[in-house]
Protein backbone atom coordinates (compact mmCIF):
# COMPACT_ATOMS: atom_id res chain seq x y z
CA UNK A 1 0.00 0.00 0.00
CA UNK A 2 1.05 3.62 -0.46
CA UNK A 3 1.18 4.28 3.28
CA UNK A 4 3.70 2.00 4.94
CA UNK A 5 3.28 1.14 8.63
CA UNK A 6 5.81 3.03 10.70
CA UNK A 7 6.17 5.78 8.11
CA UNK A 8 6.12 9.41 9.22
CA UNK A 9 3.00 11.56 8.70
CA UNK A 10 3.14 15.28 9.47
CA UNK A 11 -0.27 16.82 10.22
CA UNK A 12 -0.75 20.57 10.51
CA UNK A 13 -3.78 22.00 12.27
CA UNK A 14 -3.67 18.87 14.41
CA UNK A 15 -5.16 20.49 17.51
CA UNK A 16 -8.78 20.33 16.39
CA UNK A 17 -11.25 19.53 13.64
CA UNK A 18 -10.11 17.81 10.47
CA UNK A 19 -6.43 17.97 11.42
CA UNK A 20 -7.05 16.20 14.72
CA UNK A 21 -9.18 13.55 13.01
CA UNK A 22 -6.47 12.98 10.37
CA UNK A 23 -3.80 12.58 13.05
CA UNK A 24 -5.87 9.98 14.89
CA UNK A 25 -6.82 8.04 11.75
CA UNK A 26 -3.28 7.96 10.34
CA UNK A 27 -1.86 6.91 13.71
CA UNK A 28 -4.46 4.14 13.90
CA UNK A 29 -3.18 2.96 10.51
CA UNK A 30 0.32 2.64 11.99
CA UNK A 31 1.93 5.91 11.00
CA UNK A 32 4.25 7.77 13.34
CA UNK A 33 2.51 11.12 13.51
CA UNK A 34 3.95 14.58 14.06
CA UNK A 35 1.37 17.06 15.35
CA UNK A 36 1.73 20.76 14.56
CA UNK A 37 -0.56 23.62 15.51
CA UNK A 38 -0.51 26.93 17.33
CA UNK A 39 -1.98 25.80 20.68
CA UNK A 40 0.05 23.34 22.73
CA UNK A 41 -2.82 22.30 25.01
CA UNK A 42 -4.96 21.19 22.06
CA UNK A 43 -2.07 19.29 20.47
CA UNK A 44 -1.54 17.46 23.76
CA UNK A 45 -5.23 16.52 23.78
CA UNK A 46 -4.84 15.03 20.30
CA UNK A 47 -1.72 13.16 21.41
CA UNK A 48 -3.59 11.72 24.39
CA UNK A 49 -6.40 10.52 22.10
CA UNK A 50 -3.86 8.73 19.91
CA UNK A 51 -2.21 7.06 22.89
CA UNK A 52 -5.58 5.89 24.25
CA UNK A 53 -6.08 4.05 20.97
CA UNK A 54 -2.67 2.39 21.29
CA UNK A 55 -1.23 4.35 18.38
CA UNK A 56 2.52 5.03 18.10
CA UNK A 57 3.58 7.88 20.44
CA UNK A 58 3.10 11.13 18.48
CA UNK A 59 5.57 14.00 18.32
CA UNK A 60 4.05 17.31 19.44
CA UNK A 61 5.53 20.43 17.83
CA UNK A 62 3.70 23.72 18.48
CA UNK A 63 4.25 26.11 15.57
CA UNK A 64 2.50 28.80 13.57
CA UNK A 65 2.75 27.37 10.06
CA UNK A 66 1.91 30.74 8.52
CA UNK A 67 5.45 31.71 9.60
CA UNK A 68 8.04 30.24 7.19
CA UNK A 69 10.78 30.25 9.83
CA UNK A 70 8.56 28.34 12.25
CA UNK A 71 7.82 25.79 9.51
CA UNK A 72 11.53 25.29 8.85
CA UNK A 73 12.22 24.75 12.55
CA UNK A 74 9.28 22.35 12.99
CA UNK A 75 10.30 20.32 9.95
CA UNK A 76 13.88 20.08 11.18
CA UNK A 77 12.66 18.73 14.52
CA UNK A 78 10.49 16.10 12.82
CA UNK A 79 13.39 14.90 10.68
CA UNK A 80 15.75 14.79 13.66
CA UNK A 81 13.33 12.83 15.88
CA UNK A 82 11.24 10.71 13.50
CA UNK A 83 12.78 10.99 10.06
CA UNK A 84 11.55 12.51 6.81
CA UNK A 85 7.77 12.59 6.39
CA UNK A 86 6.35 10.23 3.80
CA UNK A 87 2.98 12.02 4.11
CA UNK A 88 2.15 15.65 4.78
CA UNK A 89 -1.42 16.57 5.65
CA UNK A 90 -1.91 20.30 5.14
CA UNK A 91 -4.94 20.89 7.34
CA UNK A 92 -4.19 24.12 9.17
CA UNK A 93 -6.76 26.76 8.30
CA UNK A 94 -9.08 29.40 9.61
CA UNK A 95 -11.32 32.34 8.85
CA UNK A 96 -12.37 35.63 10.36
CA UNK A 97 -15.84 36.78 11.38
CA UNK A 98 -15.75 40.12 9.55
CA UNK A 99 -15.06 38.44 6.23
CA UNK A 100 -17.18 40.07 3.51
CA UNK A 101 -16.23 42.96 1.25
CA UNK A 102 -18.37 45.43 3.19
CA UNK A 103 -16.41 44.92 6.44
CA UNK A 104 -13.19 43.08 5.47
CA UNK A 105 -10.00 44.73 6.75
CA UNK A 106 -6.68 44.35 4.88
CA UNK A 107 -5.06 42.75 7.93
CA UNK A 108 -7.85 40.18 8.17
CA UNK A 109 -7.58 39.31 4.48
CA UNK A 110 -3.84 38.83 4.90
CA UNK A 111 -4.35 36.65 7.99
CA UNK A 112 -6.68 34.30 6.13
CA UNK A 113 -4.47 34.03 3.05
CA UNK A 114 -1.35 33.48 5.17
CA UNK A 115 -2.91 30.55 7.03
CA UNK A 116 -5.10 29.00 4.32
CA UNK A 117 -2.66 29.28 1.41
CA UNK A 118 0.87 30.39 2.24
CA UNK A 119 1.20 27.89 5.10
CA UNK A 120 0.47 25.04 2.70
CA UNK A 121 3.21 26.30 0.38
CA UNK A 122 5.72 26.56 3.23
CA UNK A 123 5.07 23.04 4.56
CA UNK A 124 5.02 21.50 1.09
CA UNK A 125 8.31 23.16 0.16
CA UNK A 126 9.84 21.80 3.36
CA UNK A 127 9.05 18.14 2.60
CA UNK A 128 9.61 18.10 -1.17
CA UNK A 129 13.41 17.66 -1.30
CA UNK A 130 13.38 14.41 0.70
CA UNK A 131 10.36 13.13 -1.22
CA UNK A 132 12.21 13.74 -4.49
CA UNK A 133 15.29 11.98 -3.14
CA UNK A 134 13.28 8.89 -2.15
CA UNK A 135 11.15 9.09 -5.34
CA UNK A 136 7.95 8.94 -3.34
CA UNK A 137 5.68 10.86 -1.02
CA UNK A 138 2.17 12.13 -0.59
CA UNK A 139 0.84 15.60 0.19
CA UNK A 140 -2.81 15.92 1.23
CA UNK A 141 -4.28 19.41 1.05
CA UNK A 142 -7.54 20.10 2.88
CA UNK A 143 -9.18 22.68 0.64
CA UNK A 144 -12.92 23.44 0.60
CA UNK A 145 -16.08 23.43 -1.44
CA UNK A 146 -15.44 27.17 -1.47
CA UNK A 147 -12.39 26.40 -3.63
CA UNK A 148 -14.36 24.69 -6.39
CA UNK A 149 -17.54 26.80 -6.45
CA UNK A 150 -18.81 30.13 -5.19
CA UNK A 151 -19.86 29.90 -1.52
CA UNK A 152 -20.62 33.41 -0.35
CA UNK A 153 -20.77 32.38 3.32
CA UNK A 154 -16.98 31.83 3.27
CA UNK A 155 -16.01 35.36 2.27
CA UNK A 156 -13.62 36.43 -0.52
CA UNK A 157 -10.31 35.86 1.27
CA UNK A 158 -11.10 32.27 2.23
CA UNK A 159 -12.61 31.48 -1.17
CA UNK A 160 -9.64 32.95 -3.03
CA UNK A 161 -7.17 31.06 -0.85
CA UNK A 162 -8.95 27.73 -1.31
CA UNK A 163 -9.24 28.20 -5.09
CA UNK A 164 -5.50 28.79 -5.06
CA UNK A 165 -4.90 25.61 -3.04
CA UNK A 166 -6.72 23.59 -5.71
CA UNK A 167 -4.47 25.13 -8.38
CA UNK A 168 -1.36 24.63 -6.24
CA UNK A 169 -2.13 20.94 -5.83
CA UNK A 170 -2.71 20.50 -9.57
CA UNK A 171 0.62 22.14 -10.38
CA UNK A 172 2.36 19.92 -7.85
CA UNK A 173 1.08 16.81 -9.61
CA UNK A 174 2.00 18.24 -13.00
CA UNK A 175 5.62 18.86 -11.99
CA UNK A 176 6.37 16.25 -9.34
CA UNK A 177 4.48 13.16 -10.46
CA UNK A 178 7.60 12.13 -12.39
CA UNK A 179 9.34 11.91 -9.00
CA UNK A 180 6.66 9.64 -7.51
CA UNK A 181 5.08 12.48 -5.50
CA UNK A 182 1.30 12.52 -5.25
CA UNK A 183 -0.75 15.60 -4.39
CA UNK A 184 -4.29 14.96 -3.17
CA UNK A 185 -6.69 17.88 -2.84
CA UNK A 186 -9.80 17.24 -0.76
CA UNK A 187 -12.53 19.87 -1.01
CA UNK A 188 -15.14 19.19 1.68
CA UNK A 189 -18.48 20.87 1.96
CA UNK A 190 -19.66 21.97 5.37
CA UNK A 191 -17.89 20.09 8.17
CA UNK A 192 -18.84 20.33 11.83
CA UNK A 193 -15.62 21.87 13.14
CA UNK A 194 -14.73 24.83 15.39
CA UNK A 195 -14.15 27.06 12.34
CA UNK A 196 -17.94 27.34 12.03
CA UNK A 197 -17.97 29.35 15.26
CA UNK A 198 -16.22 32.22 13.44
CA UNK A 199 -19.16 32.70 11.05
CA UNK A 200 -21.17 35.89 11.45
CA UNK A 201 -24.17 33.60 12.12
CA UNK A 202 -22.93 30.21 13.38
CA UNK A 203 -25.08 27.22 12.38
CA UNK A 204 -27.45 25.60 14.84
CA UNK A 205 -26.92 22.20 16.44
CA UNK A 206 -29.57 20.73 14.11
CA UNK A 207 -27.77 22.10 11.06
CA UNK A 208 -24.45 20.71 12.26
CA UNK A 209 -25.91 17.21 12.55
CA UNK A 210 -26.50 17.16 8.80
CA UNK A 211 -22.95 18.23 8.00
CA UNK A 212 -19.89 16.10 7.37
CA UNK A 213 -17.89 15.17 10.45
CA UNK A 214 -14.09 15.54 10.66
CA UNK A 215 -13.71 11.75 10.66
CA UNK A 216 -15.36 11.58 7.23
CA UNK A 217 -12.67 13.78 5.73
CA UNK A 218 -9.89 12.00 7.62
CA UNK A 219 -10.97 8.56 6.39
CA UNK A 220 -11.06 9.94 2.85
CA UNK A 221 -7.53 11.29 3.23
CA UNK A 222 -6.27 7.97 4.57
CA UNK A 223 -7.90 6.03 1.73
CA UNK A 224 -6.33 8.28 -0.90
CA UNK A 225 -2.90 8.17 0.72
CA UNK A 226 -3.07 4.40 1.15
CA UNK A 227 -3.58 3.60 -2.52
CA UNK A 228 -0.60 2.03 -4.35
CA UNK A 229 2.04 4.66 -5.24
CA UNK A 230 1.14 4.33 -8.92
CA UNK A 231 -2.36 5.71 -8.24
CA UNK A 232 -3.13 9.33 -7.36
CA UNK A 233 -6.55 10.68 -6.46
CA UNK A 234 -5.91 14.24 -7.57
CA UNK A 235 -9.18 15.86 -6.47
CA UNK A 236 -12.03 14.86 -4.17
CA UNK A 237 -15.17 16.92 -3.59
CA UNK A 238 -16.81 15.50 -0.46
CA UNK A 239 -20.26 16.87 0.31
CA UNK A 240 -22.95 16.17 2.90
CA UNK A 241 -25.62 13.90 1.47
CA UNK A 242 -28.27 16.46 2.45
CA UNK A 243 -26.26 19.50 1.35
CA UNK A 244 -27.55 22.83 2.62
CA UNK A 245 -26.57 24.60 -0.59
CA UNK A 246 -28.92 22.45 -2.66
CA UNK A 247 -31.59 21.75 -0.09
CA UNK A 248 -33.91 24.69 -0.86
CA UNK A 249 -33.79 23.96 -4.59
CA UNK A 250 -34.46 20.26 -4.04
CA UNK A 251 -37.48 21.01 -1.88
CA UNK A 252 -38.82 23.43 -4.50
CA UNK A 253 -38.47 20.73 -7.16
CA UNK A 254 -40.19 18.20 -4.91
CA UNK A 255 -43.04 20.64 -4.20
CA UNK A 256 -43.50 21.34 -7.91
CA UNK A 257 -43.41 17.65 -8.81
CA UNK A 258 -45.99 16.88 -6.13
CA UNK A 259 -48.28 19.60 -7.42
CA UNK A 260 -48.03 18.26 -10.97
CA UNK A 261 -48.72 14.64 -9.97
CA UNK A 262 -51.78 13.35 -11.82
CA UNK A 263 -54.83 12.66 -9.62
- How, if at all, do strands 87-90 and 32-37 pair? unpaired
CA atoms of 153 and 146, how far apart (whole Å): 9
CA atoms of 52 and 12, how far apart (whole Å): 21
Residue 55 · residue 251 · CB < 8 Å:
no
Burial of residue 121 (CB within 10 Å: 0-12, 13-18, 19+) is middle
User: Which residues are known catalytic residues?
Assistant: 158
User: Rounded to the nearest 5°, which phi and psi values hold at 17?
Assistant: 55, -135
From residue 125, give the alpha-carbon distance in Å to each of 20, 80, 159, 219. Answer: 22, 18, 23, 25
Amino acid sequence: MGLARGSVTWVTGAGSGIGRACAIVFARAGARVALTGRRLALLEETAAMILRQDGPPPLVIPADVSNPHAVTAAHRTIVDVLGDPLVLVNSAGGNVTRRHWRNLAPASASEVIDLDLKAMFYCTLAVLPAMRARCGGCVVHIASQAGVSLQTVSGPSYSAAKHAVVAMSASLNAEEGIHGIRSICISPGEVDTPILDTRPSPPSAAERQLMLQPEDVAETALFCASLPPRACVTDVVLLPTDDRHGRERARAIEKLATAQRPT
